[in-house]
Structure 1
C-alpha cells in the first residue's frame, strides 16, 4: 500500500481503538497469523498512546502484520 493511501490511516486509526479484550483474544490464538496481528495491533497502541493521529506521510512505519512488508 502507498503510504499516502487513506486506507493506511484508517487501518492505523482502527487499530488504536481496538478493545483490549479483543487484542488479548488475538494474542492467545492458536493461529500464528492471528497472534501476529494481535501483536501488531498491540504495538500500534503502545507506540501511539498519547500521540496525535498519524498523517498519511507517517504511514511508512506501518508494517504488514502478516508478511512484515513495510510497503503494506
Structure 2
C-alpha cells in the first residue's frame, strides 16, 4: 500500500482516533497479531505527537562550530 493511497490515509486517521483504553487492551492480548496491531496503532499515535524532521525540510545535521551542513 502506497502512502498516498486513500485507504492508507483512512487507516492512519482511524489510528489517531483510537481510544487509549482500546490500544492498551490490544497491546495486552494473548494473540500476537492483535498485540502487533496495538503496537502499530501506538506507534502511529506516538509519531504524530513527536514528528521527526525530514531532510527535505532543512533539518540536516550541522556542525555546531562552523555551521557547515556537510559536517
Classify the TM-score, shorter chain: 0.5 to 0.7
**What residue is the counterpart of 1:21 in the other structure?**
21
Q: Which has the larger radius of gyration?
A: 2
Q: 1:50 & 1:28 partners in 2: Cα distance?
A: 24
TM-score, scaled relative to structure 2? 0.66
TM-score, scaled relative to structure 1? 0.65
Alignment of 1:1-72 (within 5 A): 1-49=1-49
> Which aligned runs of 4 or more in structure 1 are off by greater than 2 angstroms?
none
Residues matched between the structures, number: 51
Name the Cα RMSD after superposition. Answer: 1.4
- Any unmatched runs of 5+ in structure 2? 52-71
